[in-house]
A and B are shown apart, each in its own frame.
Chain A
Amino acid sequence: MSRVSVPPPTCLQKPLRVPHRYMFGPGPSNVPPRILWAGASPVIGHMHPEIFEIMSDIKSGIQYMFQTHNNVTLAVSGTGHTAMECAIFNAVETGDSVLTAVNGIWGERAAEMAERIGARVNTIVAPPGGYFSNAEIEKALSKYRPVLFFLAHGESSTGVLHPLDGIGQLCHKYNCLFLVDSVASLGGAPLYMDQQGLIDILYTGSQKVLNAPPGTAPISFSERACQKIFNRKTKPVSFFLDLSWLANYWGCDGKPSRLYHHTGPVTAFYSLRESLALLVEESLERSWERHQKVAEYFSAGLESIGLKLFVKEKNVRLPTVTTIVAPHGYDWKEITAYIMKTHNLEISGGLGPSVGLVLRVGLMGYNSSTANVDMVLAAIKDALKHCHKSKV
């Protein structure tokens, strides 16, 4: 007779308490009530026809959001990193050459992932706040002849929006797949997967501009990408992320029946579907414009209180995540802690290569408004007043 020897935890005998807080960091962002409400819908089966219909809605929404006609378009169960791994594990086989552009943390992570599955990884590096010219990219493509080139469109660790024109063409020229991470940028900055970008694999996350809870990651694969992926010599290392299975689950492979692969996160599907509906209502163009205006308003406000923007060039500034040079005479950790404590507002410090150098403020989707900018500026001003270190 077994005895339950681990007692029931008392912490779970208290009600769940979650504070209301302004999520103005680089993500996740606040979830608007309508999307939260959608997530409260009753749970039904992950292979029920109604769910398939919702998934089909989601797929159309993603095609709109990505501006693509790609058939293999779906939402991976997981967050941004899951999509990154899905892309890499499917497109890359052991021994393949991979090139990643590292101008912040995301390129570094992609390189790490590719390394783990046995690819030969090369990187081109730019300092935080910098980006790559097409000439530099071409040089590297020509030198390393990779099968996959990774680039972060919205490099949220440094606040850089990478220009995309011409890069897709270069990748085509060198017979290489073009993988773009737009987790922090999609919906906030213009991106055309098929036309402008000639992007082969594009992914984003649900918890940024879409304002859905973290849990799904829209991703899309072009014909070229599918060619390589579905003609692999070896199976992908991950069963969970195997595209042939995922494509079947999402109805992208044209097969009449869907096989059970994994249990899709149905609640997350509801929220994602609703967040896409909101985007469709506003329209991409208006969303882009709104983010741009708010970002400019914010930058002007920051400069008027004596702070400097980390990214010098205006046209490569990411409108969704603004990086501010950590001011002289302050400990940035004290600033963020003070603002959290006093104003109930989250802003963050640097990440990866930008740790200690910047403060980061994310105004995404529903959060991107001039009213919020005013709130953040007031909080920062207050912190500047209170947090100045005195010299011993």
Chain B
Amino acid sequence: MYQVQLVGEQQESRPLLSPSVDDFLSESRGDAMSARPPHTSNTAVMSTALDLVDLSEPGENSGGSIGSGSGSGGNKGGRRSPLRRKGSSKSPRRRVRPDETELIQVEQQPAGPRSPDSVSLSPLDKWDEVTLDVEDGGRRRIREKRCTSHHSSSELLWSAEFRADPLTKTTIQSYEDLNSMSTPDCGASRQHRRTRSLLVRNESLEDEFVKAKAAVESDTEFWDKMQAEWEELARRNWLEDSEGQPQSSPSVSPGEQVYRFNTKNPYREWSNAFAVGQERARDGDLNTAVLLLEAAILQDPQDAEAWQVLGMTQAENENEQAAIVSLQRCLELRPNNLQALMALAVSFTNNGKQHEACDALRGWISHNPRYKHLVPEHRGPPTPARSELQDVLPLFQDAALLNLDCVDPDLQTGLGVLFNLSSDFNKAVEAFTAALSVRPQDYLLWNRLGATLANGSRSEEAVDAYTRALELQPGFIRSRYNLGISCIHLGAHREAVNNFLTALNQQRRSQRCTHQQMSANIWAALRVAVSMLDRPELFQAASVGDLDLLIRAFDVDA
């Protein structure tokens, strides 16, 4: 959770928020939301909430109270703050009365019941005024002036609202869920409870943070610009970590990550977003599927299945970080979701996070009704070594022995993942091949097989596997990315570039949206591939993200 610390030194620990899609993408972004000051600091998140507290004194929101120690100056000058804006110098109280009607409007919006007294903020400049009444014994009122001309900002408000409340509920309930072992899904009753409780004000400061956090997290541009700062924060923690602890990415504990929703989501109000989303995913239009699934989640953030499908779709769409966060959210709501556990293990494996992957796999087998009896009961405090590879692998192998006549493809997938972790690539290949014998149409399995072959330096065979996967699912972005990688391995740089461009084009074409839709990994790989072609003008285009030029140059079917 957030720590409300007013720390002046650079040693403050900040809430760890998930990284942006790509700092590169933020540089190349040229859309409407570009009028931002170049430097933003993570203090925005903290300051958002703290600003709420301090707003009673005009001009006090310098953010100095938070003591920003990161880089240059905290909330000074051109910093965005939702509470400091041109024309928002009026005192909060004067706004209260005319706001009532607006607040009521807020409540009546479909699928968006929200406490009128709860706070949600968006640090976007497009907001005309957001003011706060901080008196009244801690009651917080928010007044939002809707600017119809700024469609995006109002959408953000919505996403912020939807985000904030479920966050509160999710965090609270997730602990309950995890503590109580009752896992039956009482989604419906939960919904009712939530609706009723929405009218109850949550006044703790923690809630303010949660809501502010939600608001910020929907502001994707803000996130993009924070990438560099973000990495800095993770590095700052190194003093507390023991020396030599490998960190391949900023370490974030599960449950504290933040999912970044797309800002412009045309499907937000759709009532059957989930069903259509699933369909789109099956058809291979992954970017649309993601938007639909996000819409479904915004409408019901407790929908564990939606989180799960979103996570798996993001992985297919080559957005690993988003996949991880989504799957973790799903597991917070439903810790025994086998598909989410397996998908999470895969994502962690891709990021080299052995312990976390083994944790997830252990979870998978412990919750699997066929094999859970194999998992020994642990008395006493759980030892951290519990999820070592050498502990989890035997469980899976024992489980496999139970299936002498038939092959459980999911179990084999688990084995394949474990062997990937231990770099036993040939054994992993065997496992995935076994799984494919049962499900030869499973394109995910074909990709897993291909990636395993590739990581085991069997690139030609990998290409065959990816080709099968793409035949079954032409919109499978991850597999196309992998295919490009294997092309690089084989020295076929042009083909590699072609594949990456095809993937990026598919992503972009799907929604005609900003660069945010495209995968950072693919851009990075594209740059590497283009750099090997010795065409400086094309390399330049790749560096700045000029997809059109590259598509023309390589004659990709647009």
Contact = CB atoms under 8 A, between A and B. Distances in A.
B198 interface: no
Interface in A286-313: 304-306, 312
Interface string B243-255: 1111110000000
Contact of B454 (A329, A331, A355, A390): A390
The 4 lowest CB-CB distance pairs between A and B, nearest first, are A390-B451, A390-B454, A353-B238, A306-B527
A95 interface: no
Contact of B352 (A105, A125, A331): A331
Interface of A: 102, 105, 108, 124-130, 304-306, 312, 326-329, 331, 352-357, 381, 384-386, 388-392
A388 B485 contact: yes
B539 A304 contact: yes
Contacts of B320: 391
Contact of B481 (A125, A327, A354, A391): A391
Contact of B528 (A102, A108, A355, A384): A384
B398 interface: no
Contacts of A126: 10
Contact of A327 (B9, B417, B491, B528): B528
Interface residues of B, number: 55
B11 A125 contact: yes
B245 A355 contact: yes
Nearest to A312: B228
Contacts of A390: 450-452, 454-455, 462, 482, 485-486
B243 to A, nearest CB: 6
A22 B481 CA distance: 34
Given A329-B521, A390-B486, A357 B350 contact: no
Nearest to A105: B243
A125 B237 CA distance: 11
B247 A128 contact: no
Contacts of A327: 524, 528
A306 B544 CA distance: 11
Contact of A381 (B233, B489, B532): B532
Contacts of A356: 246-248
Q: Which DSSP category, helix, strand, loop or mixed, fits chain A's interface?
A: loop
B346 interface: yes
30 contacts: A102-B239, A124-B9, A125-B236, A125-B239, A127-B233, A129-B235, A305-B531, A306-B527, A306-B539, A312-B228, A329-B521, A329-B525, A331-B352, A352-B238, A353-B239, A355-B244, A356-B246, A356-B247, A357-B235, A381-B531, A381-B532, A384-B528, A385-B491, A390-B455, A390-B462, A390-B486, A392-B346, A392-B350, A392-B447, A392-B452
Given A356-B246, A356-B248, A392 B531 contact: no
B236 A355 contact: no
A102 B236 CA distance: 11
Contacts of B524: 306, 327-329
A326 B451 CA distance: 21
A391 B10 contact: no
Given A329-B521, A353-B235, A357-B247, A391 B531 contact: no
Nearest to B228: A312
Given A128-B235, A385-B532, A391 B247 contact: no
A105 B248 CA distance: 18
A108 B240 CA distance: 12
A155 B78 CA distance: 33
Interface in B44-84: none
B423 to A, nearest CB: 10
B211 interface: no
A20 to B, nearest CB: 27
Interface string B208-248: 00000000000000000000100111011011000111111
Contacts of A105: 243
Contacts of A352: 238, 243-244
Contacts of B350: 389, 391-392
A385 B525 CA distance: 10
B216 to A, nearest CB: 21
B165 interface: no
A251 to B, nearest CB: 39
Contacts of A312: 228
Nearest to B449: A392
A125 B417 CA distance: 40
B140 interface: no
Contacts of A388: 485, 488-489, 525, 528
B244 A391 contact: no
A326 B247 CA distance: 11
Interface in B316-362: 318, 320, 346, 349-350, 352
Contacts of A391: 318, 320, 350, 447, 451, 478, 481-482, 521
Given A306-B528, A390-B450, A392-B349, A355 B246 contact: yes
Contacts of B531: 304-306, 381
Contacts of A392: 346, 349-350, 416-417, 420, 447-448, 451-452, 455
Contacts of B236: 125, 127
A357 B247 CA distance: 7
Chain B CB within 10 Å — which of A305, A353, A390 has the most?
A390
A160 to B, nearest CB: 13
A386 B489 contact: yes
B387 interface: no
Interface in B489-519: 489, 491
A112 to B, nearest CB: 10
Contacts of A357: 231, 235, 247
